[in-house]
Chain A
């Protein structure tokens, strides 16, 4: 634990952005690269969208002509690319502390305990998560069971073959919401009701059209300031403008927010409340030698976009390393 191992580049996160960056760096001649990943496999969020007979393909391979694949398969492809290199991947490893000025970090895993690393450059490819009800500011009410985030639905439906609800209500109306509605329908639930505080859905028509293959969710847009969840033990619905919409489970979808905790721990500058890291035009964070790539930079992008974003940021990292 006391010794510090040094790498040319350390990448936090083995999702599409982290893997894209690692591959680009490796092919450009950087041989000492480590990726720290808290999940038990490579691939990030796509790895949670499992391959299922009768399931929903949610990831588009635009670079290969635009055909849809299962996230798990895309994640497996990313893993395979990494295995062809000597990039050191630490799975089930959680970064606990970072020293921004010293370009060092500490992570923990079950095999090694606490480990210190230092690097010439560090890329944060930590991705994003969905905003909590409190962060969305318009969702209040009861706190019963069966109010899920999309990731929890993926873990229950795809990983465990469990159906958490039969009559779903989805809050949020971007592509993640429509994908979740399709997934639940494919797994045996009825068509979802999708609600949002906007009059028309956030997902554009062509995205919604793709998911029409699996079902026809009903969109109910409201010009409202607040929504109240009902249900004492288990969710029973929502109140919107005096209208009660019944359901037996709620999914809170989309509205991604960057995973900013490490930046905040290490005093790297972050915009509040968006939690988007402060970067300069070279994708460098507020301390020299720190970079960010992928969905951690805000917005909502597909897996391939993040993969190529990782490669793009790798170019800036190469420039930075060659200068110092």
Chain B
């Protein structure tokens, strides 16, 4: 019999159902975990997913109130082939490997995924000279299906790109996917395979790091015992490593701002458009998203950890983005921007994919500097980490034949496979005919389905990432309060306790004081 893992939230009473509240470490049982994964971003959840097929007691935890809510939530959502990755590095090896795995993985996990291809565009003679180099690098990275295009061929493939195009490279297998569904799918399968998940907890101390059984102390005062600690904390990895005195490394958040264009802009561009990359960044890309928008970005701005402005957007940078992106697709300037967002990548001074096994202590694995390619590489990186855990830490891997590795057909998000397109869904459940998010045409049924999904998302943002409600052109103008009301009704939580991202981000604070419903209709 497959046993479900426990799902617990560090959330005070009244904001969530009592059965989901983490208030006592006794809820986790008295046997120590084999592996505790700190950080439920795309890497942490991928590791939990791949480890969950073995007979192990695993814990996945995160300080946010949903999985994938840190670095993993803001990126270009490209599944790279690795054609331009630094040659002969672990990053390149893992990205190339993962890109082969993705089409099958997306199908199994019901992650919306599309192979759209990418086009590197050279717009001046200097850049044209670089094309050969980029091509050679692609071949070295094992991406053998790339092709150099003449300006006519490039223009034929993408009629709306700039007339200045002098040539290009086509990378047919570059793909796009739903970045939110990825961490969610990994975590949901992990949970069904018995992995325990705790959300909303921060680790404040690591005790006995040299002992066989170590103790993680949480900000809510609970103590969790585990034999192995895997630190995949993304931007929080440095802080966590200091708690156990791991080898010194320095990370900092690198902000990347993006513009999101209205869906009506999407048909103009079919491929991911890439400029010739420079030393520091890949430049400003124009990317079709799986959701049907176009995005342009990112910027690359380095910040320090204590700078609170790191997740902000700025009008100057966004103007620069628009300038940059319109060099590839000039008409982009006329397209309506519906939203702007900034993602934060974890930049590690010691290098990307900085992995330390038995990091100053036996049984501690530190993973840092997983930059934007982490979304693509997550499945192969997870496998790499499992190999490390087995080879260098001696984790015993006995396959559990009852474990599953996929999600069922009904897990396709409603925006991807519309329930109301099939008459029987609305007949069985009329909620699937009640549209609440007008822009993305998301129904009340979709929202409720996700509220009942295994990770029991309870915040507005976690519902937004799952359903796309509030992500359309009106940005929640019409539906935000309606969605909050659905969460409140369905989960029996007062409306003023509904939050955007957990405690401290509630949408209202109190009842109105001098207002009442008593007035009479004076118009007849």
In the complex, per-residue mask of A25-51: 1 if CB is within 8 Å of any chain B CB, else 0:
000000000000010000000000011
Total inter-chain residue pairs, C-beta < 8 Å: 196
Q: Which residues does chain A contribute within 8 Å of B433, judged by CB atoms?
A: 108-113
A50 to chain B, nearest CB (A): 8
Residue of B nearest to A157 (CB): B512
One of A132, A142, A163, A264 near B264 (C-beta < 8 A): A264
A residues 129-188 near B (Cβ < 8 Å) are 129-130, 132-135, 137-138, 140-146, 148-149, 151-152, 155-157, 159-166, 186-188
In the assembly, what is the distance between CA of A111 and CA of B430, in Å? 7
A135 to B262, alpha carbons, bound, how many Å? Answer: 11
> In whole angstroms, how far apart are the Cα atoms of A189 and B383 in the complex?
55
Q: Say whether B481 faces chain A, with CB atoms less than 8 Å apart.
A: yes
* In the complex, B426 has a CB within 8 A of chain A: yes
Q: Which of A14-22, A67-75, A295-303, A312-320 contacts B (4 or more CB under 8 A)?
A: A67-75
Contact bitstring B356-389, A, C-beta under 8 A = 1, else 0: 0000000000000000000000000000000000
The residue that B315 contacts in the complex, of A51, A76, A140, A152, with Cβ under 8 A, is A140
Closest to A224 in B: B315
Is residue A323 within 8 Å, beta carbon to beta carbon, of the partner chain? Answer: no
- Contact yes or no, A233 B512, CB < 8 A: no
Q: Given A164-B507, A261-B439, does the pair A155, B514 have CB atoms closer than 8 Å?
A: no
Interface size on A, as a range, is 35 or more
A152 x B477 contact (CB < 8 A): yes
6 A-B residue pairs with CB within 8 Å? A73-B521, A74-B523, A134-B260, A162-B512, A163-B512, A272-B334
CA distance A234 to B509 in the complex (A): 11
Q: Which residues of A contact B (CB under 8 A)?
A: 1, 38, 50-55, 69-70, 72-74, 76-77, 80, 92, 94, 96, 108-114, 129-130, 132-135, 137-138, 140-146, 148-149, 151-152, 155-157, 159-166, 186-188, 225-226, 228-229, 232-234, 261, 264, 272-273, 275
Question: Which residues of chain A are near B495, meaning CB under 8 Å?
Answer: 156, 160, 162
Shortest CB distance B388–A (Å): 35
Q: Once the chains are docked, how many angstroms separate the CA of A126 from the CA of B161? A: 34
Contact of A114 among B311, B423, B480, B511 (CB under 8 A): B423
Residues of B within 8 A of A166 (CB): 509
Q: Which A residues touch B512, using CB under 8 A?
A: 157, 161-163, 187-188
User: Which residues on B are within 8 Å of A, measured CB to CB?
Assistant: 259-260, 264, 308-309, 311-316, 318, 334-341, 420-421, 423, 426-427, 430-435, 438-439, 441, 460, 473-478, 480-482, 485, 495-496, 499-501, 504-524
Check A144 against B505 for contact (C-beta < 8 Å). Answer: yes
B501 pairs with A108, CB closer than 8 A: no
The listed residue (B473, B505, B511) touching A145 by CB distance below 8 A is B505
CA distance A54 to B514 in the complex (A): 7
Whole-angstrom CA separation of A108 from B518 in the bound complex: 35
| Structural contact, B514 and A163, CB atoms closer than 8 A | no
CB distance from A191 to the nearest CB of B (A): 15
Q: Distance (Å) between the CB of B475 and the closest chain A CB?
A: 4
Say whether B434 contacts A261, CB under 8 Å.
no
Residues of chain A lying within 8 A (CB to CB) of residue B514: 54, 186-188
Residue of B nearest to A112 (CB): B433
Task: Give the shortest distance, in Å, between B493 (CB) and chain A (any CB).
Answer: 13
